[in-house]
Every structure is written in structure tokens, then in C-alpha cells.
Amino acid sequence: MREVPATTPPVTLSKNCQGSHTAARRRLERRTQLAWAASLLSKVGTYATQFVAVPAVYQTLGQEGYAAYAAVTSTASILGAFNLGIGGALVTPIAHAAAAGDQAREGELFRAGLLPLCVVCVVVLILVLPCAMVAPLPVLLGEAARVSIGGLRAALVLACSLTLISLPLTLVSSLRQAYQELHVTYLIAAAGNAALCGGLLWAAHVHAGLPVFVALFTGVPIVATLVNGWLVAYRRPYLFNGWARYHVQQSLDLAGDGLRYLAAAFSNLLLYQWPVYLMVRSRPAIESAAFAVSVQMILLPLSLVANAVQPLWGTTAEATTRGDTEWIRAQIKRSRGAAVAFGLILGISIAIWGEQAARVWLGKSVELRWELRMWAGVYLLLAIWEYLHFVIALGVGSLRQASTMSFTRSVGFAMVVPFVIPLWGGTGLWFALCLSVGLYTAWSLPQLIRTRSNV
């Protein structure tokens, strides 16, 4: 069977199709600015939700109930890996097709991603639900299942069902990203966060049980995504036409790219959760707690940077299709300057005032040695630089290579963690993280972008 590449290479457009570069650049700039503003609003809503969520669940269900809630939601979240990363694999090729005005190609790609996710959803539901309904809860949830709280099995079945049913909906945010419409996703998410806060306050007021809290946390985001998906389908009905032109090979290629993207996404587990786990097991509590706190202090600004950088994926993909290397070059230069400035300010702040900030944040004293704070601050700068170039590499059509580089870096670091911890503890881990970026992805990702797009 003829191989149909999942990642569409940039096409050469005629002069008539290219239109005005100036008008296209203004539109891309406007979309990026809208995404940034909406992202900030969504992030505020997310943090407000967390501020309400944890106390609401903890105070209503108690310590045992909160442990059961955490066990249920974390178990169900593992099932999200069955999305196969197909949404990430779709962004760049659909952005290329949209920039070229090829609606037929857009539809082919979307359907090639949607069908396997629907099949996976049904198959995994058939396999998982019977286990969730009849298997002993201690086998599924461990010690958290031994609490005296009602509705635990119902909450588990509900969380698993909703998580799996939402698998095809993961394509919605990818479509918005490809069409440079992330601001719509962020605004709908902000509205969903507001609804979730209201639901949590109501549940706490009526002293609802565990299944109600689980239903709110998993169901409200799904409703928001359904609304978002309906708006996409209403504006672009052609995405659902032409099933006769479906190619199985195209789905296989997307799944292959998606698994690479998923591996890169799971790198965070190897970079941040794995060392915390080993620190807790092998170092004194005061030292492991300090390292865990420093990790959280780094992940918070990194999440803000991730939201700010994400719009560059779709805009870079469109500019690549139009052959507008001048705009890409200017965007990279501007983004690099902002990333370095932001990273330096935050990194130096953490190195100097990190311990005081942690004390204010936690409401209790925590010892963060200056060596640990210094290398954590250096790593924050390097991680921001790396993620910026990772997203741009995705935009220029190098998903496979960029994802492989990201995953290789995380695996290399994870392999040395057991040797670093006994010798140098948390400070050594931050230094090793710095080396993993500085010796590999800090220069290989920019080189990949230059090779791919000639910028």
C-alpha cells in the first residue's frame, strides 16, 4: 500500500495563493496576542479552581475521603494515555493544509485521526469497565480502597468511563491550535473553570459524596470540550465529509507520530516525578521535601511559559507553508529574547529569594540551600529555552525528530538519577538536569530548526 505521510511537508504556493504577506503576518500576530490574553485568563481560572477544589474536597470528605478521591482521579488519568498522541501529530499537517486552502486534505487528516481514537475508546471501555465494576478495590486502588467512605466503586467507574469517552474529544484542542484559534479554547476553558468552581461550592454546601466530586472534576471539562467541538464542527462541516477517501495507512502514520509526541509528553514523568520518588525513598525527609518543593517552584513558571509558547506552533506551521521565512526568523529572534529575559529574571529571583518565597507559599519554614536554588534557577532558564525551540520545531514540521530528542534527553537523565542522589542529593539532580539540556537539546533543537526551515 502506498505510504501517506502523516506530517505534510511544506507546499509551494503560487503567487496568487500567497496573497499579501503583510496581511497574513498581521493576522498571525493578532491570533498570537489573543491566545496570550485568553491564556492568562484561563490560567487565573485554573489556579482559582485549585484554590477552591482542594479545600472543598478535603473539608467535605475528610482526610480519608480526599485520599480516595486522589486515588480515583489519578487512576483514571492514566487512561488518558490511550489518546496515542494523535492530536499532537495532527496540528502541523492540518495547519499546512489550512494555509494552502486544501479543505479535502484537512478532512482526510481529521478523519484519519478520529476513527482510531473512536475504536480505541470502544475497545478499552469493553476491557476496563468490567474490571472497574467487579475487581477488588484494594487491587485497583491499594490502601486508598480501605477507607470507610461510600460510593468509591461508583466514583471509579464514573471517572474511568468519562475519561475514556473523552478520548476522541482530545482532537478538538489540536484543531484549534492548527487553525490558530487557541484563544477560543482558552476562553471556553475559563468559562468551564467558573462553572466547576460553582459546582464545587454547591457540592461542599450540600455535603455531597465522592461520586459527585469526581463527576464534577471529570464531567465539567468534557462539557466545555463538547461545546468547543460543536463550534469547530459548525464552522467546518467539511471535516466530516468524504469518509470514502479514508486511508488506513494514514491513521497508522498519525499513530506513529502520535506515539513519538506522547513519549515526549511523558518525559516530564522521568524528569520530575522519577527523581522525587527516588529522593523520598533514599534521602532524609527534610532533604527530599526541600527538593520536592523546588521542583514545584520550577514547574509553575514552566506551565505559564508553555501556555505562552503554544500559539507559536500553529502560526509557525502556517508561515512555513507560505514560505515566509522572514517572519519565522523575526518571530524566533523576538521569542528568544523574551525567553532569555523571562528565564533570567525568574532564575535569579529563585536563586536569591527562593527560600523566602517557599516559606510564604507553604506557610511554614523550609530549608532550600543556596546551591540547590542556584542550579534550579539555571535549569529554569535552560528549560524555557528548550521548550521554546521544541514548539517551533513542531511548527516547521520536525515532530518526529524533536520528540525523539526530548525523550532521549529525559531517558539519559533518568538513567543517572540513581547514581547522582547518593552522592550529591537534590543539588546534584538540578545540576544533572542542567547538563542534560546544555549538552544536548539546548543546541540540537535550534540546529534542527535551522536545517529544516533555513532560518
Neighbours of 118 (CB within 10 A): 12
On whether residue 3 sits in a domain, the answer given is no
Same-domain status, 148 and 29: yes
Q: How confident is the model at residue 54 (pLDDT cuts 50, 70, 90)?
A: low
**Whole-angstrom Cα distance, residue 41 to residue 189?**
9
pTM: 0.80
**Residue 439 DSSP symbol:** I
Identify whether 235 is part of a domain. yes
Chosen domain end from 210, 244, 262: 262
Residue pair 110/171 in contact by the 8 Å Cβ criterion: yes
- Does any domain span residue 9? no
The predicted-structure confidence for 209-238, as pLDDT tens digits, reads as follows 889 988 998 999 999 999 999 999 999 999
Residue 26 covered by a domain: yes
Last residue of a domain, one of 235, 262, 289: 262
Lowest mean pLDDT among 62-66, 238-242, 404-408, 425-429: 62-66
- What percent of the chain shows pLDDT beyond 70? 93
Residue after which a domain boundary falls, among 262, 297, 315: 262
Q: What pLDDT does residue 12 have? A: 45
288 and 253 together in one domain: no
By C-alpha distance, which of 107, 104, 105, 125 is closest to 115?
107
pLDDT digits (tens, 9 = 90+) for 325-344: 888 999 999 999 999 999 99
Return d(Cα 386, Cα 345) in angstroms, integer: 17
Do 271 and 179 belong to one domain? no
* 135 and 252 together in one domain: yes
254 plus 382 within the same structural domain: no
Is 204 inside a domain boundary? Answer: yes
pLDDT value of position 197: 85
Count structural domains, the chain.
2
Q: How far apart are CA 422 and CA 424, in angstroms?
A: 6
pLDDT at res. 6: 42
| Same domain flag for 87 and 116 | yes
**Structure confidence by residue, pLDDT tens digits, 25-51:** 777 788 777 777 777 777 777 777 666
Lowest mean pLDDT segment, chosen from 142-151, 401-410, 427-436, 443-452: 142-151
In which residue are the cell numbers 473523552 written?
166
In a domain, 6, yes or no: no
- What average pLDDT does the segment 190-199 reach? 88
Residue 317: which domain range? 266-453
Does some domain include residue 405?
yes
Q: Are 314 and 183 in contact (CB under 8 A)?
A: no
Spatial separation of the C-alpha atoms in residues 416 and 400, rounded to whole Å: 25
225 and 303 fall within a common domain = no
Are residue 346 and residue 201 in the same domain, yes or no?
A: no
- Give the model confidence (pLDDT) of 294-324 as tens digits: 998 998 889 888 888 988 998 899 888 888 8
Q: What is the pLDDT of residues 265-284, one digit of tens each?
A: 888 889 998 998 888 888 88
Question: What totals of helices (H) and strands (E) does the chain contain, helices first?
Answer: 18, 0
| Residues 163 and 277 both lie in one domain | no
Do 402 and 379 lie in a common domain?
Answer: yes
